[in-house]
Amino acid sequence: MLSASSTPYEARLAARSGGFDAPTADVAPGFVQGNLAVLPRALAYDFLLFCQRNPKPCPLIGVSEPGDPKMPALGRDLDIRTDLPRYRIWENGTLVSEPTDVSAFWRDDLVAFLIGCSFSFEEALLAARVPVRHIDQGCNVPMYRTSIPTTPAGCFSGPLVVSMRPLAPADLVRAIQVTSRFPSVHGAPIHVGDPAAIGIADIAAPDYGDPVEIRPGEVPVFWACGVTPQSVIASVRPDFCITHAPGYMLVTDIPNGSLAV
Amino acid sequence: MLSASSTPYEARLAARSGGFDAPTADVAPGFVQGNLAVLPRALAYDFLLFCQRNPKPCPLIGVSEPGDPKMPALGRDLDIRTDLPRYRIWENGTLVSEPTDVSAFWRDDLVAFLIGCSFSFEEALLAARVPVRHIDQGCNVPMYRTSIPTTPAGCFSGPLVVSMRPLAPADLVRAIQVTSRFPSVHGAPIHVGDPAAIGIADIAAPDYGDPVEIRPGEVPVFWACGVTPQSVIASVRPDFCITHAPGYMLVTDIPNGSLAV
């Protein structure tokens, strides 16, 4: 049974044994969690280059060897096939199943990409007493497709997806300072204020996640979002792809603090 | 004729026309300069992954499309084949020529990697009134192979190369603060103090560059160095490779300040 004091390794073992099948937001606080994208080696160069050219939405935490499901640099005994609580299997861009273990789907040519997520900087925001609205409201962060293009690489291209957190001006300043220290998990905001300026027609209707309240005097603050690579992969429709199920992340042994500059 | 007030574009045009064939340290101050490595596409995935896994010695500024010598994101009308003042051509790990133009050597399968260099953070150190000894002595920075391994990727592996700048303790603190703001051009030091702790037998005998004076009360401070990828490529001995000649860098249109976090 997992608790707030469970270690990352305990969380991974629980996922591996089938005893843990839930979102990971509250699991093993203090440690980096990651978005997963698994692609055939034939697409890996283009995707790696896409991440290099778009480090704000696609901050790479690790890349596996082709066919090797172990990623020891990210965690003790870590196995990409079993250690996330839930996955998504995609074929030609269509979601075909949501298993809790992908061992049966693994192939010798698969490369796993782990991409940082905003849990790391949200923890730093809370520690700096910057309120995070969707956490206070107990819902998912609102996310939006924008009119900002990513920098293409090979077959990968598409719009930047952003997450939004409304902030009072004093909190905005502190939030920029705090998240600037975490360039490897999305870093500083990419936009502050008018949603229309980045192609968001209706701030109350996010493309992913849940809407949150924006109070008088607050401004919406937008960060590059790790949903971007999934959105981009979906538009490329590779013949085969594995991702995590939204919110069901890989919990690593890397302390959040080690990412700060 | 180039002067200290020449723009990056003027510097590149001068190199292209054959009218500028000298080190670029004093050229177009304020703009990012880069180390060049050009490799066949067959090695590009491994090298890109090597850079991703070793961001401190190999901070990527840009990667070209295969066969395309233009890199418009780095500078107006920029052509990798002509815009550096001097190159090195390597065949099977052997230096075969040092041309000022590599148009005749260009191939459809070549990929250009541009890697950040310490000129960017040295400018920030000087602006913060941190003295930089090799600049004061008018020589090249001392560089050393260490006992610290890089993280391998495919065929690429080998020891980390570091540069060294001696500093008084108060300057050391400021230097760590200043260079931490530049993770995309080597970032914070990787070691302070005892050279033997990182496998350097004789601080007075650098493996590359020139020795510098270490005054009483100063400590040697070590940064990951952009010579690392060249050292690693040399040990892999690819059948064909182009690099810049040491000190003869690519001058980009990117302001140094835009790299700071």
Which fold does the domain A8-118+243-259 belong to in CATH?
A: PSTPO5379-like (3.40.1640)
pLDDT value for A19: 86
Which of A63, A115, A186 should be substituted to probe chain B, the one whose Cβ sees the most B Cβ atoms within 10 Å?
A63
pLDDT value for A1: 65
Distance CA B251, CA B63 (A): 15
ipTM over 0.85 threshold: no
B8-118+237-259 belongs to which homologous superfamily?
PSTPO5379-like (3.40.1640.10)
List pLDDT tens digits, range B204-230. Answer: 999 988 999 999 999 999 999 988 988
User: CB–CB of B63 and A53 under 8 A?
Assistant: yes
Contact B209, B164 (CB under 8 A): no
Judge whether A48 is closer than 8 Å to chain B, CB to CB: yes
The listed CATH number (2.160.10.10, 3.40.1160.10, 3.30.2040.10, 3.40.50.2300) that belongs to domain A121-229 = 3.30.2040.10
Distance CA B3, CA B20 (A): 11
**What is the 3-class SS of A109-145, one letter each residue?**
CEEEEEEECCHHHHHHHHHCCCCCHHHHHCCCCCEEE
Residues 6+ apart with CB under 8 A from A200: A144, A146
User: CB–CB of A181 and B45 under 8 A?
Assistant: no
List the 182-201 stretch of A: residues with Cβ below 8 A of B: 183, 187-188
> Is the per-residue pLDDT at A143 higher than 90?
yes
pLDDT value for A5: 79
List pLDDT tens digits, range B35-61. Answer: 999 999 999 999 999 999 999 999 999
Contact A167, A218 (CB under 8 A): yes
Provide the β-strand partners of residue A95: A90
Side-chain half-sphere CA neighbours of B161 within 13 A? 22
Residue spans of the domains in chain B: they are 8-118+237-259, 120-229
List pLDDT tens digits, range A176-190. Answer: 999 988 887 888 999
More confident residue, B6 or A191: A191
User: CB–CB of A49 and B49 under 8 A?
Assistant: no
Which of B63, B115, B182, B259 should be substituted to probe chain A, the one whose Cβ sees the most A Cβ atoms within 10 Å?
B63
pLDDT value for A2: 74
**What is the 3-class SS of chain B, one letter each residue?**
CCCCCCCHHHHHHHHHHCCCCCCCCCCCCCEEEEEEEEEEHHHHHHHHHHHHHCCCCCCEEEECCCCCCECCCCCCCCECCCCCCCEEEEECCEEEECCCCCHHHCCCCEEEEEEECCHHHHHHHHHCCCCCHHHHCCCCCCEEEEEEECCCECCECCEEEEEEEEECHHHHHHHHHHHHCCHHHCCCCCEECCHHHHCCCCCCCCCECCCCCCCCCCEEEEEECCHHHHHHHHHHCCCCEEEECCCCCEEEEEEHHHHCC
pLDDT value for A60: 93
Give pLDDT < 70 ranges for chain B: 1
Distance CA A45, CA A52 (A): 10
- Poorest-pLDDT segment among A20-34, A71-85, B62-76: A20-34
User: CB–CB of B261 and A44 under 8 A?
Assistant: no
pLDDT value for A235: 83
CATH class of B120-229: alpha beta
| Mean model confidence pLDDT for chain A | 92
